[in-house]
Amino acid sequence: MIKTLSLIFFSIIVSISFAGSLPNDSVLFTSTKQSNIDSLVNRWYNKQMSPGNDTSFVVEEFSDTSFIPAFSDSVYKERLANLPLVIPMSYNKIVRNYIHMYTQKRRDLVENMLGLSEYYFPIFEQILDAEGMPHELKYLPVIESALNPNAVSRAGATGMWQFMYYTGKMYKLEINSFVDERRDPIKASYAAVEFLKDLYNIYDDWILAIAAYNCGPGNVNKAIRRSGGKRNYWDIYYYLPRETRGYVPAFIAATYTMNFYKEHNLSAKKADLPILCDTINVKDKIHLEQISQVMGMSLAEVRSLNPQFRRDIIPGNNKEYSIRLPFDRTTQFIDLKDSIIHYKDSIYFNPEAISNTPEYTTYTPGPPTKNHSKLTYQVKSGDNLGYIASWYGVRVSDVRHWNNVRHNMIRVGQKLLIYVPKSKLSKYDGINAMTYTQKQASVGKTVSKSENKTVAVENLKEGDYEFYTVRRGDTLWDIAKLYSDVTEGDIMRWNGISNANKIAIGQKLKIKSNS
């Protein structure tokens, strides 16, 4: 596999001086595409946290979070030497420059990855351990994709382990219009371990195997021949493709950083991913929104645990697929499975709706090209970014990027800039003036009567009710069960709610006392 330019994901061009005979020359980092590096950790990972819930990790050694420590070469070298590693970790000026990149220049990126590692590293470690492979190989996805399962390079390398299409197929990963197992953290990890094992069997050297993982064994073999048959990475260093010269030093630097981040006053940013999960196998066609709506989970959470379903659809058709859910939700899924499968199935599996479903992929959001036209959309009551993005056929991350929106926070009356291809301008130009029903119809979805009907509000006198604050994962059905003789309809009537699915975390609901 010619794994293309994995370091493009670092958005750094590495230029190495050829003045010396040893690869200890300084590495020059240019600022080209520097701003794109932050897109490696998509905002998809940073979902809203409950108000007042401080989940940040406090580094006890430093009270000033802006302080960036610096250390001598001897300290870096000694720390690397003391790590319990099978793979040899050389230290030189090139490695040092990558350590500085992580610990000084890209601190936000590292803190996001530290949070994500709490979820993903145990998966990698279990698979590596089962195959008798060095555990430090778990740091490869750090430099490949910044632990983003939906990452796609400009060359098409996909997933955390950045498999190209043909290599993914070679290692039996399913790739089609609905499923891309290169994005499945578990299946892609098994495939990556097999690939690395095959490369190690060729070279009997983990560093050369890692280099070949990046540029392909053909390029490594060519470098060995050009060096006169030498088989040490640093001896063939200058004969390797430029991006691979930076790949192994980046791997060493990532290994150092993920082990010694506290010493650099770095802390993990909480990733909203449940540590305890379970897997359920299904053979039915299911839309992830059906799971979200019926189980009262956020769609973002369901997606984050199942990134292999590239259009939110589990194809089914009697073929077994795995769904990953929080451990405490699996029994609920089993109990509600029939309800989930049939919930608005005629809407979610309408052929037009399926054809208009965007693919949820983490590309680098950037400025629109000259082939795009700018439209303005004014937010209406009941709108959310998911709806708006689907109406214009764009990604939610793009709408956030174009309008500098944090999380999903938009307000009624706010004007959003939307960029669409000029060739489709006539299709999207009138959306701002459409009714909600018309906009949903434009993407093949019908609006149920319950979404349009108004609710007669029962005015409760002060003292006749108490407040319930909506928590993450709550549904009206769940809330009603907490009270005797209270139904979903009662809560909707007391609070003027017309759509049972539209309640928000932190919302205060009136519950009639002594009901």
Residues labelled catalytic: 144
35 contacts: CB under 8 Å, gap ≥ 6: 11
Around Cβ 225, how many Cβ atoms within 10 Å? 12
Query: For the chain, what's the residue count?
Result: 515
**In angstroms, rounded to a whole number, what is the distance separating the alpha carbons of residues 82 and 300?**
40
**Element of type H or E holding 95:** helix 93-100
Nearest to 49 by CA among 300, 414, 258, 385: 300
Say if residues 37 and 109 touch (Cβ distance below 8 Å).
yes
Tokens of 166: 């043909």
The partner residues of 416 in beta bridges, in order of sequence, read 377
Q: How far apart are CA 102 and CA 89, in angstroms?
A: 17
Residues in Cβ contact with 314 at an 8 Å cutoff, skipping those fewer than 6 apart: 178, 282, 284, 285, 286, 287, 288, 321, 323
Tell me the residue type at 53: N
126, 129, 131, 135 alpha-carbon torsion, rounded to 10°: 110
Helices in 216-298 by DSSP H: which ranges?
217-226, 242-259, 288-295
3-state secondary structure of 288: helix
